[in-house]
Structure 1
């Protein structure tokens, strides 16, 4: 007998998964908002804090090169997803009760490893449902819910620190509640939709020539060109760290105002994700032309001495991040067939991470050297990105015509 299909609508699957991400963000973004002060309270130097957080972020991205292919080969998408979330939500509450610096350092890194474990599998599961809802808008709604958690988490921790007089134990311990809800929702979703691949037709498992795609099939050329485009864009993308450095060191805004600006940028992130996702489903990959434009706008206005322009630059930064976290992931799902999709997500994220690190270093160095040189360099980099996008689009159209 044929399978009756998933017992939840695709939209309900997307929104429940988005709620999972919202609650998980409350947990780990809440913890990340005080990682530096927490480690310092245990005796860490600035060097230790920098090394630990840097290793953690590198692990969250680089290890996806391993977890992605393993997910495809084992086909245990739910197992990888649940294991990754479990590692994150279990480690965070323990951060608040440990009295040993190196244990805390290990927990910080372990939380980031959890993100590497789950992300390729999670994005693949979500991609199946977005085949029904629309790739762009499906990933956009997920990202918007995610960002609500990113705002609530730090606010929750800040409120608990005020109530307890700066005690990290209760501030992080309270995050066990949303962490438990994450695992409960995941198990429920796994029970209701054991095979999300049923949202997506079987013929997506075939290449342009009609041959089947296996877990060892080469990734399409359009995917690699797309990775080159996104990586190039990120190399010319200023980080919020450099933006906030400019705000404070130039005396434009007090340090206490920076988190407020960041929260506003996260709101812009959610709005831009929804807008770009909606447009992507209607006009296609050309929507991504907004990304190089935003990347150039950011340094042009954010590194001035006008507070209004600086804030506008921060909002543009948030909008760009919204596109990166939603529509960029949607395109991967359209370029790569399901049997190789987790591998593709892992490689894509690792490349983005390396490019982001390079971009942060480049823009930081150029900021110290010359802001006009920074703007000119970013303009040149984004022109290269646009050229790569044009080549990728041409190949994509050719592949579509061949089908």
Structure 2
């Protein structure tokens, strides 16, 4: 059964999936509790939370662009992946030691440097070792493993808080244990098959089809769009992202509706169950129905969710809406990455993912700051409506990007 399920996913992608699982296990022991830690323990307000998350994501974005350029220039993916995961694993648990919220900003900054260094080379590596026909499935698998770790992380945090009665600071420090396993696995099991741009043999061997070269190997298939399409795609993504602020605000909204710290952690875990299932299915479905209709549907769905968060008041309904929000990620996360890989030749793959990942993070800073300021000045209703309107504008723009011709699966 395992062979049947994973037959089109390379060992490298499986190893990266395990690394993502453990990374998110470590980070999600912290992330859902961080807004509460900042506001109740360190005395930070909504603007400070928006600043920390916005700066963190912008930092990651700048380094995603740089690492994307360097990975194409050097022809190597693995060194950036190894060092990126190592840096984040060292910095993240130290949040448990800080006494002032600006120090959280510093540690989040270092953590996000690691994320920036690894992300674009990792996404390009997945494309390098995956047949064009199964890229949606490969990215979906990787994102599903990421979300599986995000399910386990909050559950471990709740176990530590309620059963072992430890403090928030101790939970943050204990996140170092899975982080250490991340470094071990990425060093031992993540491989690359020669320089970027020469991955045809790698795809044939890693997909379990040694001696058989696919007619849709990376960089040689029918899926490449024009640079004009890539630029329009990027512009649409930036516009959408201006309305896609940090999910910390959703958690804060739930807390204001009466959900306590333990409830937020449990909801965050349940939310990632929805994300895990939806990304696993969404990537595979996009290999058959196409990327464009999936992304447009996902962005419209996102706008509806944000509008509901603006106007709903009942705690139970808000909880349901928050869980349904997880479906959006299955409609977009693996699909957008597979679409990026089809819009550029392989020699530009690292840079394309650098621009994609980088643009999202850079736009996240004004997105989070705008959201936080609107919430603080006029209320959460206006903030969520603004996010929904940006999403709808993004849909209009991305409709002009030509859909790549799909290979037969």
Superposed CA offset, 1:356-390 (max 9, x none)? 44444555666675888778766654443333222
What's the offset of the Cα at 1:127? 1.6
Pair 1:266 & 2:275 matched: no
Partner of 1:153: 153
- The change in CA–CA distance for 1:307 and 1:296 in structure 2 (over 3 A counts) is same
DSSP 3-state at the match of 2:290:
helix
In the TM superposition, residue 19 of structure 1 has moved relative to its aligned partner by 0.7
User: Are the structure 2 counterparts of residues 308 and 342 from structure 1 closer, same or farther at C-alpha, using a change threshold of 3 Å?
Assistant: same
Structure 2 residue aligned with 1:334 = 342
Cα distance in 2 for residues equivalent to 1:173 and 1:379: 37
Query: Which residue does 1:3 correspond to in 2?
Result: none
Query: CA separation of 1:21/1:98 partners in 2, compared to 1, >3 Å: closer, same or farther?
Result: same
Contact preservation (8 Å) 2:203, 2:217: no
RMSD: 3.9
Q: Residue 13 of structure 2 corresponds to which residue in structure 1? A: 14
**Higher RCO by CA contacts (8 Å cutoff, separation 6 or greater):** 2
Q: Structure 1-normalised TM-score?
A: 0.78
1:160-186 C-alpha deviation (Å, 9 max, x unpaired): 3552632735x4454343233222222
Q: Does the alignment pair 1:318 with 2:318? A: no
Higher helix share: 1
In the alignment, structure 1 residue 348 sits paired with structure 2 residue 386:
no
Tell which structure's C-alpha radius of gyration is larger.
1
CA shift in 2, pair 1:354/1:191, >3 Å: closer
**Relative to structure 1, is the Cα distance of residues 37 and 194 closer, same or farther in structure 2, using a 3 angstrom cutoff?**
farther
- Tell me, which stretches of 5 or more residues in structure 2 are unaligned? 1-6, 205-213
* Alpha-carbon distance in 1 for matches of 2:27, 2:134: 29
Please give the residue correspondences for 1:61-76 in structure 2 after superposition, counting only pairs within 5 Å: 61-76=61-76
Give the 5 Å matches for 1:2-401.
10-35=9-34, 51-96=51-96, 106-131=106-131, 134-162=134-162, 163=164, 165-166=166-167, 168-169=169-170, 171-190=171-190, 197=199, 198-199=202-203, 204-205=218-219, 220-237=227-244, 239-249=246-256, 251=257, 253-254=259-260, 256-285=262-291, 286-302=293-309, 303-362=311-370, 369=378, 381-393=390-402, 396=404
CA distance in structure 2 between the aligned counterparts of 1:222 and 1:343, rounded to whole angstroms: 15
- How far off its partner does 1:291 sit? 1.5
